[in-house]
Structure 1
């Protein structure tokens, strides 16, 4: 009986493992897809961990009419929701947000400055800050708390322009919202 060299065994096992992973990847790609989250954050989030928006099993939330075309970030003031839209006008991600006390006017803006991390005007450590406009001297930007918590209720009379989101959503918006990206704000 001929002796098979060890390199041949290793090569055969490696090829078999790669083929098994490829088959599993194809099966996973053909499986069911999770529905987009449709829950909306409360207007006055509580300090408990349950204050986070939670996904609901229903139809995906439609991109608002009048939000433009092409690659863009869409922010709906009324729905308190953001969409990341690719160049083919397909929504890639949507999620609820907690707006600050100062909201941008409906219109089209451009991402300008970005900051990896800082302290928000409410004293919370934030990251993935994507600035796109200012109103009445208040900078307006998307961000998320470093610890992933929902923002505390603003102090009486506080003027905040941070549009907060969950940590994973903040990371996705940070990657998508490079300088020059269009931001469409709709009612």
Structure 2
């Protein structure tokens, strides 16, 4: 009479065999051709206003304003309601639209003077990635984004210095700029 193998031995053997087959297929696939993904960007007419971000290499991305400084910096255009993150070589790595407050900074050179992870804004909205860079009319001027990702409500006559960003742009700005990072404000 032949001895029967216990069920755990069968399961162990089958699992080992399946693992070996998967490893063999993975090694074989690694030596074959690799697909490449192409990134398709949505048209700027709908997506730029809906999402605010436009990659700097996209044909629709506005050029970095002239006379916006040199070196690594944040460039904020009052007229275009747009921010550029500029690397040390002078190339914009990201650009996006913003919602300015009712009080804005004068054109000029500033730097990030304080950062706060999150707080309640003067308009009562919970915000994050708060980066202060100047004062105007007795109001602190800072970049921030709403925790819930919403756009700011109308000011109703309040003096507000927040330059609000889309949530993903707020995270990118927070990662890019630290205390003393240069901020250039242009018309």
Superposition TM-score tier, normalisation by shorter sequence = 0.7 to 0.9
Q: Looking at CA atoms only, which structure, 1 or 2, has the larger radius of gyration?
A: 2
Cα distance in structure 2, aligned partners of 1:135 and 1:109: 12
Distance 1:18 1:144, change over 3 A: farther
Task: Say whether 1:34 aligns with 2:46.
Answer: no
The residue that corresponds to 1:132 in the other structure is 133
CA contact (8 A) 2:52 2:98 kept: no
Cα distance in structure 2, aligned partners of 1:166 and 1:89: 24
Distance 1:70 1:19, change over 3 A: farther
The residue that corresponds to 1:160 in the other structure is 160
The residue that corresponds to 2:98 in the other structure is 97
Cα distance in structure 2, aligned partners of 1:19 and 1:106: 56
User: How far did 1:13 drift?
Assistant: 3.5
Cα distance in structure 2, aligned partners of 1:86 and 1:98: 23
Distance 1:154 1:119, change over 3 A: same
User: How far did 1:168 drift?
Assistant: 0.6
TM superposition score normalised by structure 2: 0.77
- Count of residue correspondences: 168
Task: Say whether 1:176 aligns with 2:183.
Answer: no
Matches within 5 A, 1:47-58: 52=50
* Deviations, residues 30-74 of structure 1 (Å, cap 9, x unaligned): x35537957799xxxxxxxxx855678962211100101111110
Cα distance in structure 2, aligned partners of 1:76 and 1:40: 20
The residue that corresponds to 1:15 in the other structure is 27
TM superposition score normalised by structure 1: 0.77
Unaligned runs of 5+ in 1: 42-50
Cα distance in structure 1, aligned partners of 2:43 and 2:93: 10
